[in-house]
Structure 1
């Protein structure tokens, strides 16, 4: 029994997300809030967080990262999908269209990460370090 309690305690210590989700869920139940509206508001909050992260990163590095922009669009489109699916009269064409657009943005995100200039610079630095080590060992 003590071992099981210890495992549960370790799980909650390492997974704060579960506790945060549980607290939010209990607040929703106690306050009798509309669940769909709450989810939409949380997604809007995440969009605001991503926009602030993008602005902060732009101010610090004077570069606009494409990944942040794509993330904002994906989250905003997911928010729209949640709104359309929660309506009594569902427009399935619009929902399907939004899901296809989300899939395209995910492909763009993967390509943006794979072909990012920062990654090329990092790989070039690794090659230079490797070449320098080979020159030093040959001398």
Structure 2
């Protein structure tokens, strides 16, 4: 029994996200807030965090990473999809269109990571070390 309790304790110590999500969920229940509105606000917060991360990275490195820009657009579009799906009268064309745009941005994100200039430098260094 002690071993099981210790495992549970270790799990929560290493995965504090679960604890944070539980606290937020309890606050939502206690405040009797609308769940979709809370999710939209959290996604807006994430967009703001990503923008600040992008600006900070730009100031530090004098480079703008395409991945950060694409992530911001994806999160913002997911936010819009959630808003449109929570309406009583759903505009399915708009929802499908937004999902299609999200798919295109995911493809761009994968390509931005795959063909990143930083990866080319790593590959060139590895090739020169092999010779």
Q: Structure 1 residue 21: deviation in Å? A: 0.6
Shift of 1:130: 2.4
Aligned positions of 1:1-139 closer than 5 A: 1-131=1-131
CA shift for structure 1 position 129: 2.1
Q: Deviations over 1:104-131 (max 9, x none)?
A: 1000000000001110011111212222
Q: Which runs of 4 or more aligned residues in structure 1 lie more than 4 Å from their structure 2 counterparts after TM superposition?
A: none
Q: CA deviation digits over 1:30-70, x for unaligned, max 9?
A: 11111111100000000000000000111111111000000
Residues in 2 aligned to 1:75 and 1:114: alpha-carbon distance in whole angstroms: 21
RMSD across aligned positions (CA): 0.8
TM (norm. structure 2) is 0.97
- TM-score norm. by structure 1 comes to 0.91
C-alpha distance in 1 between matches for 2:74 and 2:117: 22
Moved more, 70-79 or 86-95: 86-95
SS of aligned partner of 1:3: helix
- Total equivalences in the alignment: 131
Higher mean C-alpha displacement, 101-110 vs 5-14: 5-14
User: In structure 2, the residue corresponding to 1:89 is in which secondary structure?
Assistant: coil
SS of the equivalent of 1:119 reads: helix
Mapped to 1, the partners of 2:40 and 2:27 lie a distance apart of 16
Looking at structure 1, the residues matched to 10 and 103 of structure 2 have their Cα atoms a distance apart, in angstroms, of 36
